[in-house]
Amino acid sequence: MKPDASLTIALAKGRILDEALPVLAGAGIFPTQDPGTTRKLILATNLPHVRIIIVRATDVPTYVAYGAADLGIAGKDVLMEYNNNVVYEPLDLGIARCRMVLAGPKRTLQPVHGRLRVATKYVNTTRDYFAGQGRQVEIIRLYGSMELAPVLGLADYIVDLMDTGNTLKANGLVPLETIAEISSRVIVNKAAMKMKHDQIQPLLDKMALWKKGK
């Protein structure tokens, strides 16, 4: 059987996309339409055998794990939360850097509800972090606007990403502990890494070169 020559790359819109496009350009891959503005979810590139799919940031590891995409670019925050070791993570691109922090109100609060409550969308990562320290917390899953939770007494603390710190500050919160340094990584489907090695390895090499020259 002739090996499949096509390559599908999963990207997410937003912060990572803006920084991922120069990486792809460095590897000689240019989408034929602007992924930031088009409504199309499958984009052709200048290379006939390479296409880009646009998915939610949290879905990038899923597409790659199941082989619906051969490779993708995902934040370490998303990868830690996905946490199933079924994709290769061969390259830290060093882009979209930020920190995952535990943040709370400026004054130290006694827990409102006995046990400390932490609101976050990073439920697994937060559970592992506190369990690793033997600290008992109740985790409340939210999908966005985490900063509101301590303000309204829903939680004592939040776990979220911080870049400039402006969002925390604007909501009267301060970073208290760093849980992880975050950057975006290239992830690769394990079977594709074997079956399409001749296409994927040169691409990884070019991306690594791009990173060095940055």
Q: Which is nearer to ligand AMP, 157 or 192 (CB)?
A: 157
Under the criterion CB under 6 A, does residue 165 sit at the interface with ligand AMP? Answer: yes
Q: Which is nearer to ligand AMP, 67 or 89 (CB)?
A: 89
Under the criterion CB under 6 A, does residue 164 sit at the interface with ligand AMP? Answer: yes
Around Cβ 78, how many Cβ atoms within 10 Å?
24
Half-sphere exposure of 90 (CA within 13 A, CB side): 17
Chain-centre distance of CA 105, in angstroms?
Answer: 26
- Which residue in 155, 161, 186, 187 binds ligand AMP (CB under 6 A)? 161
* Contacts with ligand AMP, 4-33, as mask; x by CB under 6 A: -----------x------------------
Under the criterion CB under 6 A, does residue 163 sit at the interface with ligand AMP? Answer: yes
Distances from the Cα of 163 to the Cα of 72, 100, 126, 170, angstroms: 22, 9, 18, 13
CA distance 28 to 150: 46
Torsion of CA 146, 152, 157, 160, to 10 degrees: 10
| Stretch touching ligand AMP by CB under 6 A, among 110-118, 132-140, 163-171, 202-210 | 163-171
Interface positions, 67-96, toward ligand AMP (CB under 6 A): 75, 96
Residues that bind ligand AMP (CB under 6 A): 15, 75, 96, 98, 160-167, 182
